[in-house]
Amino acid sequence: MKSNAHLLAAALILTNSLAMAAVTADEAAALKTTLTPLGAEKAGNKDGSIPAWDGVYAKVPAGYKPGDARADPFAAEKPLLSITGKNVDQYAARLSAGTVAMLKKYPAYRVDVYPTHRTGGAPNWVYDNTFKNATRAKTVDGGYGVEGAYGGIPFPIPKSGYEAIWNHRLAWTGETAIYATRTWIVTPDGKRSLANEAEQTIMRPYYFKEGSAEKMEGMYQYGRLVTRAPASKAGEGILAHDGLNEASPRALWQYLVGQRRVRRAPSVAYDTPDSVTSGIGFFDEAFMMFGPIDHHELKLVGKKELYIPYNNNRAAAAKIADLVGPQFLNPDLVRWELHRVWEVEATLAPGKRHVVAKRRYYLDEDTWQVILIDGYDAQGQIWRSNYTLTLLAPDLPAVLGSVMWGTYNVQTGAYLLNASSNELPVQYKAIPRLPVSYFGPEELANQGSR
């Protein structure tokens, strides 16, 4: 009897490991043929409106210096079509629910669709690591952790929503960077105001080129945000240390000027109103995804063609007075393109609560970054439309979805634009690697007291 029990236990362990196992070598071989090195379909679509992928865009303009605003290589192009509330039904199949709601709510809101440029990708060494990850990476702890991945997309051929979301978290956006940011909020009555000006620094040990899956330990990402304005909050900051398993408590600290001390900040998560955005956004909406999302279960719905914001270097260089309008971002400055996206549906997990009862994440197939999110309330009504405009950074090379992101509250009419470097001296700038101590609580306290 004891022997049978051991056999049964072993079988269950084997079954569980197989359920979470990486793809086969035969499946991974597609990354060298029909798929791009990061797992997107290499071919274009049937009508040619999505072209074939022919490599990451890496044409750095002459005279570019790190930290400069990046030029728009497609500035001369004109829209192929414009979608408004009058013709939205004609194009609804290629629009997110949040975008449709915005078009129907505001007669002046418009989606200008430009020719598609599949600029996403990464350096060759990231491709090599992605190929290795395909046959060795696996999710653990119900999908909330990942093992065996390093230096590339962990699951280029995803089999679950959890794998797709890990691809977003571990997407290539460079190694170490610093940038100046502003947070702009617009109230329902159309009044624009500056909620926050800060310096954001990020370092990703997961993308240390000389590393490996065997040597990977500790955190995959360190982030530090220090507020510069308004004066009443200058010096306040947040530290985030993100590991490869959400089952472990997240290391997150906050420095508040009034308290003059660094403290652990477990409440900077989930649906807690984001103080940086004056409460218009939730903390887990920051950067399109911030902290654990284990209050929801994830389902990989599949792939579809969708109009999404893309290659928005023109918007990144615009004056705020021109870009941030009284009800929405100026449609004249926002570029939309047709791309294939993976759709992941998030529904409340048993016994968990969250004010956003359901979300639909749309991940760009070429970069694995979440570009749009539809958020629904408890009554099943569309409530929130989260977006990132994306910035083309050929110097990295990468398409960045972690800048120029925001939220439209479709029901109240309030909205925000965060991580905007418009009219600031430093746009997302690659810098030399920093010591881990730079992201420590003591250094945050020192920074806050200066």
Q: Is 233 helix (H, G, I), strand (E, B) or coil?
A: helix
**Rounded to whole angstroms, how far apart are CA atoms 203 and 224?**
9
3-class DSSP state of 415: strand
Residue that is written with structure tokens 């996403």 in the block: 120
CB atoms within 10 A of CB 319: 10
Q: Identify the pLDDT of residue 218.
A: 82
Q: Give the pLDDT mean for 319-343.
A: 99
Q: What is the DSSP code (8-state) at residue 268?
A: S
Q: 89 CB contacts (<8 Å, ≥6 apart)?
A: none
For residue 447, what pLDDT is reported? Answer: 77
Task: Output the pTM of the full model.
Answer: 0.94
Going from N- to C-terminal start, the domains of the chain cover 81-174+182-193+277-422
- pLDDT digits 0-9 by tens, 204-258: 999 999 999 998 888 999 999 999 999 999 999 999 999 999 877 789 999 998 8
Give the model confidence (pLDDT) of 113-149 as tens digits. 999 999 999 999 999 999 999 999 999 999 999 999 9
Angle CA(401)–CA(403)–CA(405) in degrees, nearest 5? 85
Provide the pLDDT confidence category of residue 21 given band limits of 50, 70 and 90: low
Residue 32 gets which letter from DSSP?
G
Report whether the peptide linkage leading into residue 230 is cis, meaning its omega lies within 30 degrees of zero: yes
Give the pLDDT score at 3.
44
Q: What is the pairing mode between strands 415-420 and 370-376?
A: unpaired
Q: Using pLDDT thresholds of 50, 70 and 90, give the confidence band for residue 448.
A: low
Do residues 172 and 398 lie in contact, with contact meaning Cβ atoms separated by under 8 Å? Answer: yes
Task: Report yes or no: 266 and 260 within 8 Å, Cβ to Cβ.
Answer: no
